[in-house]
Structure 1
């Protein structure tokens, strides 16, 4: 049995879960409190990060590397463009979400509202929350700019870039931190992703002590 060590509101874990589900690769989920850095988990990934995938006798870390590995071993359905330009744009946007978006938005909203309490690190820092609430507006505007000229974020086909973006936004949507009325084109894009069978397990996630927003699992918002 393939095993994915993950945390429910980790966008990096969610990106890999979406890829696995889209490719219909069966995997057992093991929730990992990675910040506790248990010796057993550190043996799997000394970097103490999730996700970690155990598959085909290998233990793999780093979410984007895992997704590209899955594309190589199971290329159908394709989640990466065939051409160099398309692959560049996909990778650029994955980097955008997993680096810039994470540090400016996800870490300041989900990180402060949920992770601080879960990790026992006190109360949310209101300055960080306000900074994240400001920054997400810029990012939603940028996504709208992309989607006004493309069917999907990186082009006319759905790619791992869409899964990266949806993974972060789904974490924020759990705590109702996304203004879906800001751009109809972004809302429509997320609705397309959210309605895919691959998304179902994410919509069933619950973190003890935190109820998801009322619309979180509603495919029609």
Structure 2
């Protein structure tokens, strides 16, 4: 069985877990605290970030985007209509653009701050940056998330899914980022019904169930986190 080194609230790990779920691939999950910088983990991914996918004898596949591409190259064609990357070049461009938007821009402006300040710092020693959360960073993230919700609402105003007619990596990347923020209770769902309705559709998929069962030691999720109807 393949192994995924991840952290339960790492949005990039969550994206890969959703892709694996949609592909029907079972993996053994190994929780990795990347800030500990274990030598064995750094050998697999010198960047020291989660996720890392290991499928013997292929070896380690590091990084969310690289893992997604690897899975599409090795399994995508066999999925037919369930493939998460379109067959036409411009369709692939749009999906990849949006994956970069959510796993890059949204993570840098929103989720990275929330997860680091509220979760990772609680488990990090002081010499590695642990301690009390930076409330200014949390306030900035809470402000920035509204922009990304609005963008999702804008996209869904003219599309069936974020990148077009079919579910794609784009939906899973956006949902993964939002799910981490939603666990922490930082998504103002009442401000964008269109985005909320789209998220409920993704959240109801079987691939999402393992994420809804995730728990972080000492931190319960928001009340509606696992509620499919909010």
Q: Give the structure with the larger helix fraction.
A: 2
Q: CA deviation at 1:47?
A: 1.0
Preserved CA contact (<8 Å) 2:53 2:61: yes
Q: Tell me if the contact between 2:10 and 2:115 (Cα under 8 Å) persists in the aligned partners.
A: no
RMSD between aligned residues: 1.0
Q: 2:35, 2:119 → 1: CA distance?
A: 14
2:17 is equivalent to residue 12 of structure 1: no
Of residues 111, 133, 138, the one that matches 1:129 is 138
Gap regions ≥5 residues in structure 2: none
Matched residue of 1:176: which SS?
A: coil
Q: Following TM superposition, by how much is the alpha carbon of 1:56 offset from its aligned partner in structure 2, in angstroms?
A: 4.0
Name 1:60's counterpart in structure 2.
Answer: 61
Between the aligned partners of 2:187 and 2:215, the Cα distance in structure 1 is 18
User: Any idea what the Cα deviations from partners look like across 1:136-162, whole Å, max 9, x if unmatched?
Assistant: 111111111111011111111110011
2:44 is matched with 44
CA shift, 1:12, in A, is 0.6
CA shift for structure 1 position 202: 0.4
Which structure 2 residues correspond to residues 1-221 of structure 1 after superposition, within 5 A? 1-57=1-57, 58-75=59-76, 76=79, 77-120=82-125, 121-221=130-230
| Number of positions where the alignment pairs a residue of Structure 1 with one of Structure 2 | 221
Structure 2 distance, partners of 1:47, 1:218, is 35
Deviates more, 1:2-11 or 1:68-77: 68-77
Listed as ranges, the gaps of 5+ residues in structure 1 are none
TM-score normalised by structure 1 residue count: 0.97
Which contiguous aligned blocks of 4+ residues in structure 1 show a shift greater than 4 angstroms? none
TM-score, length-normalised on structure 2?
0.93
